[in-house]
Amino acid sequence: MKGEILITGATGLIGGEIALRLMQAGWRVWSVVRSSTFGEAAACLERRFALSGKRCDWSRLVAVPGSVTASLMGINSATLERLRGHCRFVIHCAAETSFAVDSRCCELNVLGTGNAVALSAELGPQAKLLQMSSAVVCTSPEGGLIDETAPHGGYVNEYVRSKRLCEELVVRSEVESAILRPSIVLSHGLAARKFARSVLWFLPVVRVLGILPLHGNERIDAVSVGFVADAIVVVVAVAGVADAVVVAIFLIGIRHLGTVVVAVGNAVIVGVV
């Protein structure tokens, strides 16, 4: 066993695929699930993994009832004690994606990220925080290429605003962390309508930019969820992740020519060539 990793959002599209791949890579994954009992949390994970055609490997998976909106994710003291000093990464994928103007999307996402930061600090200095963000936080200037240094700017809605605020929160924190910015994530390979619908957040952006990723030379990114999950497993495998490094995971157009990992000091950049 390579070690312990805690993840939120494993019942979702991206988090579920990350959890599966981490287990396959030899990690024990502790998955925080919005529930009140271990049995309920386990059932939620079983339903999610079934959508990927997989079964839960309980020798490498621990269901943790809790809530990202609760202090320290609502994790009980016994579980915290087992993870304290041993958990290597906290991967925060859970997020509200509603774009309704009157929704609590921004409030809930910022609250959840604050709790993820606090949990990482509670578990010890070895617990690095990997914060799932989105490339949509920086869609300006139009027609340009976004890399890991791109600042916030361009199109905004409540979801985008929440992701920008969450990034700022992580950057200001004292925990060792990295921000992950995948682009348009497609549910390729998962026969589930709710995951296919998850890409609908991008339609307003398409309307504003007036562009679709239909050709190999389009300056717009679309990636499969499997590509994103595999790239994050690579990030985890790299020993050093610098404080508040922004990690960009991109696939230009519809071409997938290969993945490259560049390590500069402790900084890790994951991209494609």
- Kindly report, residue by residue over 103-148, the tens digit of the pLDDT: 688 889 999 999 999 999 999 999 999 999 887 787 666 655 555 5
Cα 248 to Cα 183: distance, rounded to the nearest angstrom: 9
**Interacting residues of 148 by C-beta distance below 8 A, sequence separation 6+:** 181, 245, 246, 247, 248, 269, 271
Span 263-269, average pLDDT:
38
Q: How confident is the model at residue 24 (pLDDT cuts 50, 70, 90)?
A: very high
Q: How confident is the model at residue 216 (pLDDT cuts 50, 70, 90)?
A: low
CB 173 within 8 A of CB 92: no
For residue 101, what pLDDT is reported? 59
- Kindly report, residue by residue over 177-202, the tens digit of the pLDDT: 888 888 777 777 676 776 766 666 66
For residue 255, what pLDDT is reported? 33
Query: Mean of the per-residue pLDDT values for the chain?
Result: 79
For residue 157, what pLDDT is reported? 78
Using the predicted structure, report yes or no on whether residue 150 has a pLDDT greater than 80.
no
CB 228 within 8 A of CB 259: no
- Side chain identity, residue 242: A
Tokens 């959508």 belong to 51
Cα 16 to Cα 64: distance, rounded to the nearest angstrom: 14
Q: How confident is the model at residue 232 (pLDDT cuts 50, 70, 90)?
A: confident
Cα 201 to Cα 197: distance, rounded to the nearest angstrom: 9
